[in-house]
Amino acid sequence: MIIRERTNWLKMLFVWKGSVLRKIIPQLLVITIFSIIVLYFKGNIYDYKVHLNPAIFTLLGLSLAIFMGFCNSASYDRFWEGRKLWGLLVIETRSLTRQVLTLINDDSPDSKIKKQEFIKMISAVCWALNFQLRNKEANEKLEGLLSPENFEKIKDKKFKPIILLDIMGEWINTQNQEKNIDTIVLSSIDHQLNQLSNIIGGCERIANTPLPFAYNVLLHRTVYMYCFWLPFGLVDAVGWMMPIIVLLISYTFIALDAIINEIQDPFDEEENDLALNTLCKTIEFSIFEQAHIPQPRLEVSNSYFID
**Residue 299: inside a domain:** no
At 49 the three-state DSSP class reads strand
* Of 295, 273, 269, the residue nearest 282 (C-alpha): 295
**Residue 147: inside a domain:** yes
19 versus 229: the higher-pLDDT residue is: 229
pLDDT at residue 159 is higher than 80: yes
What is the distance between the alpha carbons of residues 189 and 96, in angstroms, rounded to a whole number? 7
What pLDDT digit, counting tens, does each position of 63-92 carry? 888 889 999 999 999 999 999 999 999 999
Q: Which residues of 257-286 are buried (b: 16+ CB within 10 A; e: fewer)?
A: bbbbbbbbbbbbebbbbbbbbbbbbbbbbb
**Residue 88: inside a domain:** yes
pLDDT at residue 7 is higher than 70: no
Show contacts of 42-49: CB within 8 Å, 24+ apart: 42/235, 42/236, 43/231, 43/232, 43/235, 43/236
What is the distance between the alpha carbons of residues 196 and 15, in angstroms, rounded to a whole number? 38
What is the distance between the alpha carbons of residues 55 and 281, in angstroms, rounded to a whole number? 54
pLDDT band for 124, please (50, 70, 90 cuts): very high
**Residue 68: inside a domain:** yes
pLDDT band for 200, please (50, 70, 90 cuts): very high
Q: Indicate if the alpha-carbon torsion angle 94, 192, 85, 203 is positive or negative.
A: positive
* Of 127, 130, 115, the residue nearest 168 (C-alpha): 115
* Residues spanned by the domain of 160: 35-290
Bridge partners, 138 (sequence order): none
What is the distance between the alpha carbons of residues 151 and 236, in angstroms, rounded to a whole number? 70
pLDDT at residue 303 is higher than 60: no
Compute how many other C-beta atoms are within 10 angstroms of the C-beta atom of residue 194. 13
What is the distance between the alpha carbons of residues 116 and 129, in angstroms, rounded to a whole number? 20
User: What is the H or E stretch that residue 185 is in?
Assistant: helix 183-208
Count of the separate structural domains present in the chain = 1
Q: Are 295 and 285 in contact (CB under 8 A)?
A: yes
* Of 273, 277, 222, 284, the residue nearest 250 (C-alpha): 222
Q: State which of 57-61, 100-104, 215-219 shows the largest mean pLDDT.
A: 100-104
Among the listed ranges 50-59, 66-75, 144-153, 220-229, which one has the minimum average pLDDT value? 50-59
- Give the percent of the chain with pLDDT over 90: 63
What is the distance between the alpha carbons of residues 222 and 218, in angstroms, rounded to a whole number? 6
Compute how many other C-beta atoms are within 10 angstroms of the C-beta atom of residue 21. 14
**Residue 19: inside a domain:** no
**Residue 26: inside a domain:** no
DSSP state of 297: P
- Give the percent of the chain with pLDDT over 70: 92
What is the distance between the alpha carbons of residues 205 and 70, in angstroms, rounded to a whole number? 20
At 48 the three-state DSSP class reads strand
Query: Looking at residue 143, what is its pLDDT?
Result: 94
Query: Looking at residue 141, what is its pLDDT?
Result: 93
Can you tell me the mean pLDDT for 127-153? 94
**Residue 21: inside a domain:** no
At 136 the three-state DSSP class reads coil
What pLDDT digit, counting tens, does each position of 246-290 carry? 999 999 999 999 999 888 999 998 888 899 999 999 999 999 999
Q: What type of residue sits at position 4?
A: R
**Residue 139: inside a domain:** yes
What is the distance between the alpha carbons of residues 89 and 126, in angstroms, rounded to a whole number? 8
pLDDT at residue 150 is higher than 90: yes
pLDDT at residue 145 is higher than 70: yes
